[in-house]
Amino acid sequence: MEFLNVLSPLAIVLCFLGVFLGIILGAIPGMTATMAIAIFLPLTYSLDLIDSLGLLLGLYVGGISGGLIPAILINIPGTPSSLCTTFDGYPMTQKGEAEKALKLGISASVFGGFFSLIVLYFFAPILSTVAVDFSSVEKFLIIVFALTVIASISQGSLLGGIFSGILGILISLIGTFPDNNELRFVPEGLETQLMYGFDLVPVLIGLFAIGQLLEEAENGMKNTASKNLKLDSKENKFKFSMLLKQKMNVFRSAIIGTFIGILPGVGGSAASITAYSQAKNFSKKPEKFGTGEPEGLVASEAANNGLIGGALVPLLSLGIPGDSTTAILLGAFLLQGVQVGPLFIPSNPDLWSGIVIALVIANIAMFVILFFTIKYFAKIIFVPKYILFPIIIVACVVGSYAINNGIMFDVWTLFLFGFLGYIFPKIGVQIPSFLIGFILGTNAEKYFIDSLKASDGDLTIFFTKGPISIVLWVLILGSLLYSVINIFKSKNKQGASL
Amino acid sequence: MGELLKIDLTYSNYHTVFPKLIIYLLTLLGIVLIIKNVVNKMKIKKTAKKEDIHNQEIDKDQPKEKFNVTMFVGTVILLIIYGFALDWFGFLFTTIIFIILTTLLYIGSVNKKAILISISNAAATTMIIWLVFGKLFDITLP
């Protein structure tokens, strides 16, 4: 029991508690892992550093993982990073495979988590120096690479999908451009509210949750859908061999998740989006993606938990927070008077191994808690809609209101995008593509402009920057070509079957 | 060729460069989509005559879902009123009333059982959210 020397029993208990609370907060639409950590940060002031890290890392792992529950069961991503989990998770629920989908997702998550931990433990110092070499050009290309997923998830019309994605980018640009503090696309009278544009969380849950609510209302809130749903029959149970069959997919997605996590500023959602599109490109049956194909679900979940270890690499070895969640964790270190940076690991070996062990425990706790309670969670789909939907609306409103500490405008954003989420499918705008554009748009602009600043406006910089950018171009073009070929293949297949 | 690949970049136009590019792309795609749609419609018109009978059969098999006006309009109105009322009357009161009304709207009838369900749903949900989020976690509620 060597780890008891580094980790106090209290830290372990707090870690379990953190995971449990994180799962619940992550599962509520509108509450994110970032928020979970932010809520509990003030409480950790009175704790030892290692105890508080146990709690916060538990919340991080739990918060990221809990998002899969509503994503799979009711088609509402609990957190932005579980967006891609809905694509195949919810169709599996509709096919009566909810429990199988949840358990597959959880197992993929725990694998992604452990993989990224190994990377964190052995390669943190080396990798962080590589990541620093990624300039804005490479980061822009990574975002473009993540955007290629739009081509592969387009339902029906490829052009329509791309149009939706670019529309999403355009909407994400509303607000101030931070470099020169100039507003654009802001209607008069809304300058203060739209200073920073629309917040991602109300946009996301508006499009999914409120949009779906209006759709259900239009159809008269019929209970038929959930009455026909069955939980998994005995013959169709989850087995670990299902995950083993996809070891390449799990592995690839965990690598993508970890690596994107390491890059500061690319963002967590990009990880599962990229992993999903690559799983589709490498799959033998890409045409089944989006109809309840376990491969897609596994890719998304392995990647978003892989992200956690990845995101901690630059935080702990360079003191750079890659996203808002790690920025709050950085706050926790500062609160305790610990400086993170290049000297952190060599000068705090005990704390360092404590963090790694806390993450191992958090991943185990996440798996144990979710795996054995999931069949009770899965019963959510039997709750009548007239009870479930009012609760979901209130949860969304509370989450949107609280995400920026009490801004009523975020609630109106929620309603506005809820209405758009209802209208969009009717006029051919594809919501998943739109959201991916929206999520990646701001960073795409930032790194695009940063690259051009360095090159004095010369666009050739994107091709001449160096070997890494060439590799990224090959990946982008390969990914695009592959998805276009896949679309034609599936069209031909459909043609043949008609 | 070199001129084409260069973008005029000054401090004062940083914020317009990327949006302009995106708007160009969007317009271009929009035009292509419109043309494609028109062409498709013309194609359909040509083949429609042959498949008229066939199409009618399909229509019979799948009756269109009826648009539930009461429920849809009711939801939209309740959401908007809820948004305003949160500012005027605070979280607890507004949310209880909102959940009672939406639950009743979705059940679709007002009888003893429906009222009972809606009131218990409203009371339980609101109290749990208020206690756990408002009091325990100290989240700012509307």
Supply the DSSP string of A1-14, one letter for each residue: -THHHHS-HHHHHH
Question: A398 vs B142: CB contact, 8 Å cut-off?
Answer: yes
CB atoms within 10 A of CB A457: 16
Measured distance CA(A116)–CA(A330) in Å, rounded = 19
Cα of A293 to nearest chain B Cα, Å: 27
Q: Indicate which of B8, B18, B66 best probes the interface with A, i.e. most A CBs within 10 Å of its own CB.
A: B18
Q: Indicate which of B3, B77, B79 best probes the interface with A, i.e. most A CBs within 10 Å of its own CB.
A: B79
As a whole number, the mean pLDDT across chain A is 85
Measured distance CA(A111)–CA(B65) in Å, rounded = 43
pLDDT at A49 exceeding the cut of 70 = yes
**Average pLDDT value for residue range A179-201:** 89
Of chain A, the percentage scoring pLDDT greater than 70 comes to: 93
> What would the two tokens of residue B86 be?
């949160």
Please report which confidence band the pLDDT of residue A15 belongs to, taking 50, 70 and 90 as the band edges.
very high
Cα-based angle B56, B58, B64 (whole degrees, multiple of 5) = 95
pTM (two decimals): 0.83
ipTM score above 0.85: yes
Of chain A, the percentage scoring pLDDT greater than 90 comes to: 31
Could you say which DSSP state residue A175 is in?
E
Positive/negative CA dihedral, A255, A261, A264, A267:
positive
Measured distance CA(A432)–CA(A289) in Å, rounded = 13
A160: which chain B residues are within 8 Å (Cβ-Cβ)? Answer: 33
**Of A160, A167, A244, A151, nearest to A486 (Cα)?**
A151
DSSP for A63-126 reads HHHHTHHHHHHHS--SSGGGHHHHHHHHHHHHTT-HHHHHHHHHHHHHHHHHHHHHHHHHHHHH
pLDDT at B58 (0 to 100): 45
A428 by DSSP, 3-state: which? coil
Cα of B37 to nearest chain A Cα, Å: 11
Widest distance between CA atoms in chain B:
77
Please report which confidence band the pLDDT of residue A414 belongs to, taking 50, 70 and 90 as the band edges.
very high
Question: A408 vs B75: CB contact, 8 Å cut-off?
Answer: no
Question: B18 vs A213: CB contact, 8 Å cut-off?
Answer: no
CB atoms within 10 A of CB A248: 10
Residue A456 CB burial class (10 angstroms; 0-12, 13-18, ≥19): exposed
Per-residue pLDDT of A431-460, as tens digits, reads 888 988 998 898 899 999 999 998 888 889
Please report which confidence band the pLDDT of residue A498 belongs to, taking 50, 70 and 90 as the band edges.
very low
Of B8, B12, B67, the CB nearest to A218: B67
Question: A389 vs B106: CB contact, 8 Å cut-off?
Answer: yes
pLDDT at A494 (0 to 100): 63
Cα of A214 to nearest chain B Cα, Å: 6
| Plot region of B65 (φ>0 → left; ψ -120 to 50 → alpha; else → beta) | beta
Contact A210, A393 (CB under 8 A): yes
**Average pLDDT value for residue range A192-205:** 88
pLDDT at B50 (0 to 100): 54
Question: B117 vs A415: CB contact, 8 Å cut-off?
Answer: no
Contact A468, A181 (CB under 8 A): no
How confident is the prediction along chain B (142 residues), in pLDDT tens digits per residue? 456 678 888 888 888 999 999 999 999 999 999 998 899 888 887 776 555 545 444 444 444 557 888 899 999 999 999 999 998 998 999 999 999 999 999 888 888 999 999 999 999 999 988 888 888 777 778 7
Q: Indicate which of B6, B7, B11, B15 best probes the interface with A, i.e. most A CBs within 10 Å of its own CB.
A: B15
Place of tokens 């090159």: A455
Question: B79 vs A210: CB contact, 8 Å cut-off?
Answer: yes
Question: B16 vs A184: CB contact, 8 Å cut-off?
Answer: yes
A393: which chain B residues are within 8 Å (Cβ-Cβ)? Answer: 79, 82, 98, 102
Nearest CA in chain A to B36: A159
Question: A390 vs B79: CB contact, 8 Å cut-off?
Answer: no
Place of tokens 């940063």: A450
> What is the helix (H) or strand (E) element at residue B123, kind and residue range?
helix B112-128
Measured distance CA(A428)–CA(A417) in Å, rounded = 16
> Which of B 48-87 lie inside 8 A of A, CB atoms?
65-68, 71-72, 74-76, 79-80, 82-83, 86-87
**Of A58, A49, A70, nearest to A380 (Cα)?**
A70
- Cα A78 to Cα A32, A364, A441, B136, distances in angstroms: 7, 21, 21, 21
A458 by DSSP, 3-state: which? strand
Measured distance CA(B19)–CA(B10) in Å, rounded = 15
How far is Cα of residue A417 from the mean position of the Cα atoms in its chain?
A: 19
Contact A13, A58 (CB under 8 A): no
Question: A406 vs B7: CB contact, 8 Å cut-off?
Answer: no
More confident residue, A108 or A322: A108
